[in-house]
Structures are given as C-alpha cells and as structure tokens.
C-alpha cells in the first residue's frame, strides 16, 4: 500500500515589470538537497542550474526559465525560498560606517522587491528619426558575460546586440534581423548614442531592500541597500 502524500500549499505571485501572475509552492527536501549540493560545489554554473530547476519544478511557469530576466529569476526564487525556509532571513553584515563591526540584521523577505532606478527605460531614442527597444538579458547571457575574465569591448557589444528587440524609424519597425546586423548597427552609433545603450544595462531593475544598520561601537545608524539575491542570505 502506498504511503499517504502530504498536502503542499500553493501561493500566487505577480512578476515585477510585466505583472504576469504565477502560482508557486515551497521547495521540498529533494529540491533543497539539490540546492545544498550546488552550494557545496562552489560552482556558479551548478548553482544557476539548481535555481533554474527549482523554479521549473515549483511554479506554473509555461515558458523557459532561461528566457526570464535575471531580476525575475531572483524574485521568483526568493518567493519560493521564503515559503520553504522562513519569511525572515537573519545574518550578520559589516556596519557601513566603520566597515569593520559585524552587526546582526533581520530581513523580512516579503518586503523585498524589484527596484527600477529613476530614468530607466527600454525604449531609447538615438536621434530624431531612429530608436531601439531593448529586452533584458536572460540569466544565461548575463552569467556568461559576468563569468568572463576581463570582458573586452567585443563581449560588451555582443551582449548589447543580443538584447536589441526592435529598431524603428519614421517609416518602419524592424524586429527581424541577425545578430551580425545588430552588431553592425551598434558599431554605427556615435559615443553619445552608445552611452544611452549602456545606460539601459547600468540601470536595469534589481532585487533590493534598504535597511537601517545600527553600529553599537560608534553609535551611528546608517542606511544600507542590499542588492541581488545573494545579499539576503548569509
């Protein structure tokens, strides 16, 4: 006779930026084991693989996890983990005022969200006639770029070219083109125009939460903004 199965609670979340709704559940012991093994490997690629597997197993996501933006993956994983392990994360950080003293902090994970910096836009007007619409890099693309030792200008251009979603002018919208054509287009920009493309990447939405940090040694309270998934766990 098979053993009884325990009921697993389900929750609903709304993805930042797109507003898409997903149902999700806490990860189970089998998925937690996968995560611990990846953490013990001290291998970034194994960690990313584990996170993607957990998201695929624990949510109602219909598309590919690989197509999600980095900040979406971090947000989804944070929600899953908070329901599995606890909605408060407690750990020590270094007080920012003296950069020495270790201080205990407690982060309510349900309050952590995705922050969109002022001025961020994915629609870039290059001049009075031509503009581009950018898409966010997938986690695979982002990790590949950031794991490259000393990325050169070619790597930067390839990342940017892969994130061009549309190009438009006064006559037409172009949404079908090769990566080589996108690279050629970028190389035809002047420095000021290409800086606008770089600004898109530098101001991308990010998982963030600001906390007050009291230093008992200096009696100073500072504000510290934690950014990125790894910042919310010891």
User: Does position 147 have pLDDT exceeding 80, yes or no?
Assistant: no
Q: Which token pair is 47?
A: 């960690």
Count of other CB atoms within 10 angstroms of residue 125: 13
- 206 to 8, 11, 16, 112: CA distances (angstroms): 30, 23, 10, 10
φ, ψ (nearest 5 deg) of residue 124: -120, 120
Question: What was the pLDDT predicted at 108?
Answer: 92
Q: Tell me the mean pLDDT in the region 46-63.
A: 89
- What is the pTM assigned to this prediction? 0.82
pLDDT tier at 143 (50, 70, 90 boundaries)?
Answer: low
Q: Tell me the mean pLDDT in the region 170-177.
A: 93
Question: What was the pLDDT predicted at 205?
Answer: 92
Distance CA 16, CA 7 (A): 29
187-209 pLDDT, tens digit each: 999 999 999 999 999 899 999 99
Sequence spans of domains, the chain: 9-86, 123-202
Mean pLDDT over each residue of the chain, to the nearest integer: 88
pLDDT tier at 153 (50, 70, 90 boundaries)?
Answer: confident
């Amino acid at each position: 006779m098979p053993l009884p199965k325990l009921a697993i609670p389900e929750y609903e979340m709304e993805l930042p930026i797109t507003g898409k709704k997903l149902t999700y559940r806490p990860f189970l012991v089998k998925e937690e084991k996968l995560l611990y093994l990846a953490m013990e490997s001290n291998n970034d690629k194994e960690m990313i693989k584990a996170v993607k597997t957990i998201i695929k197993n624990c949510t109602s996501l219909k598309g590919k996890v690989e197509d999600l933006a980095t900040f979406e993956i971090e947000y989804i994983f944070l929600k899953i983990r908070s329901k599995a392990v606890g909605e408060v994360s407690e750990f020590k950080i270094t007080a920012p005022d003296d950069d020495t003293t270790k201080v205990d902090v407690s982060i309510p994970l349900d309050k952590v969200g995705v922050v969109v910096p002022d001025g961020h836009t994915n629609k870039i007007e290059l001049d009075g006639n031509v503009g581009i619409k950018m898409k966010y890099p997938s986690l695979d693309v982002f990790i590949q770029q950031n794991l490259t030792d000393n990325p050169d200008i070619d790597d930067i251009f390839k990342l940017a070219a892969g994130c061009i979603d549309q190009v438009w002018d006064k006559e037409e919208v172009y949404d079908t083109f090769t990566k080589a054509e996108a690279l050629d287009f970028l190389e035809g920009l002047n420095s000021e125009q290409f800086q606008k493309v770089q600004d898109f990447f530098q101001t991308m939405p990010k998982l963030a939460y600001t906390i007050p940090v009291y230093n008992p040694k200096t009696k100073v309270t500072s504000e510290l903004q934690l950014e990125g998934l790894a910042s919310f766990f010891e």
